[in-house]
Amino acid sequence: MISKSTFTFLNSLKKNNTKEWFDANRKTYETERKQFIDFTRFVLNEIVKFDASVAGLDPAKCVFRINRDVRFSANKDPYKTNFAFSITPGGKKKTHAGYYFHLEPGTLFAGGGVYAPLPEVLKAVRNEIYFCLPEFEKIMKSKSFLAHFKGLDDIEKLKNAPKGFEPDHASIPYLVNKHFVVSRSYTEAEVTSPDFGKKLAEAFKAQKPFVDFINRAIDNAEE
């Protein structure tokens, strides 16, 4: 499970984000990364119980690299100050929705969906919601979903209805979203509790109908 030592390491890394410091503390990093991979393995095994589409994934490959790509960024810090995993059908590089967890001191959250999707994916998701609105609203308003999530994250929206859609259609409050993501936050005390892995899997289980809906839209667009 996740221990307080992970937070200690990430806080230190944030204060000393240099290759020299990282190299001097590489053994600590490797220990913490292994612990996070073990945690990912546990959660993956729990998810497989209700979503066989992620069976067979390598937990280590679900975890993101700590090195940052600084080529096009004004921030030249070489390392991320978080651990994160994406458990997605086909692997984290796929455009499909899956199960995401982000561990960073002060920023702890889980969720899933499609963030900044490619134009064809965005159109496919909007079409699926437009034509299957009752089904989508049933997912968004189900008791199991609302026990963990409040709905789509309010990240970035269009001011008007997307082109090609009736401006007064009941689906427009959903379709104006540019990202189709749901998430929920946690406290450090929750994350370091012995049963957090199971609780996280419970949230992901409640999220599964949403993930399935998004992935069906993407699969239909790819056919």
Give the three-class secondary structure for 16: coil
pLDDT in tens, the chain (223 residues): 899 999 999 999 999 999 999 999 999 999 999 999 999 999 999 999 999 999 999 999 999 999 999 888 888 999 999 999 999 988 776 789 999 999 999 999 999 999 999 999 999 999 999 999 999 999 999 999 999 999 999 999 999 999 999 999 999 999 999 999 999 999 999 999 999 999 999 999 999 999 999 999 999 876 6
pTM for the predicted model, two decimal places: 0.94
Do the beta carbons of residue 113 and residue 214 sit within 8 Å? yes
- Domain of 64, in residue numbers: 4-222
Do the beta carbons of residue 86 and residue 99 sit within 8 Å? yes
For residue 182, the surrounding DSSP H or E stretch is strand 180-185
Q: Per the structure, how many domains does the chain have?
A: 1
What crossing angle do the helices spanning 4-15 and 26-48 adopt, rounded to 10°? 130
DSSP 69: -
Half-sphere exposure of 186 (CA within 13 A, CB side): 21
Do the beta carbons of residue 3 and residue 35 sit within 8 Å? yes
Do the beta carbons of residue 127 and residue 196 sit within 8 Å? no
Class of residue 64 by CB neighbours under 10 A (exposed 0-12, middle 13-18, buried 19+): middle
Strand partners, 63: 85
pLDDT of residue 93: 67
